[in-house]
Structures are given as structure tokens and as C-alpha cells.
Amino acid sequence: MPFWRLDDWLEQQVGRVNLIEGDVDGEASGVPRGGLNTIRTGFPLFLLMIGALHFEHLEVNPVALLRGLDYRFWDLTALTEYPDERSIQS
């Protein structure tokens, strides 16, 4: 299967992006890392499926990366904002 960095693919195929949904089997941290230019310039909405393994190390934590880019996080079931990363883990 071909592999493209998100920024490269979007630049060639799409242009402006308003929403990024990622269900990438444990690689949720790679989606934001590969799309930093797109994220910084367009600030798209993210819908990511994350689990406990994403909080084990800072380098694989998409929440930490996106929070550093001024993203906020919401529970889509309760429609409430998570106040911090620790509350997302539980």
C-alpha cells in the first residue's frame, strides 16, 4: 500500500482541509505529525480514535502535540470539553 505524508498528499490532491478523521490502528500520533503544515495553516477539526497506548510516551501522544498547537478536546458523547489530558485518559 502506498504511503504519503499527510501534508504532501493534501497539497497535491486537495488544498484546504476543514476536517481530518483518523482511524489508523494505533498510529494516531502519526497523522498530526505528518500534517503539521496543514494544521498550522488551516487549523482543521480533528476526529481521532485514541487509546491508552497513545499516552505512554510523549512522542506518540497526539493530544500533547495538538494541545501544543492550541487545540481543545471534547467528549462527543457527553458534549463536554476535557479540561486536561489526564481527564481524556480516564
pLDDT in tens, 11-70: 787 777 888 876 655 555 566 777 788 888 888 888 877 766 556 666 667 888 888 889
The burial of 68, by beta-carbon neighbours within 10 Å (0-12 exposed, 13-18 middle, 19 or more buried), is given as exposed
Confidence band for 79, pLDDT divided at 50, 70 and 90:
very high
Rounded CA separation 32/55 (Å)? 15
In the chain the beta strands, taken as DSSP E runs, fall at 19-22, 45-48, 74-75, 80-81
Annotated domain spans of the chain:
6-89
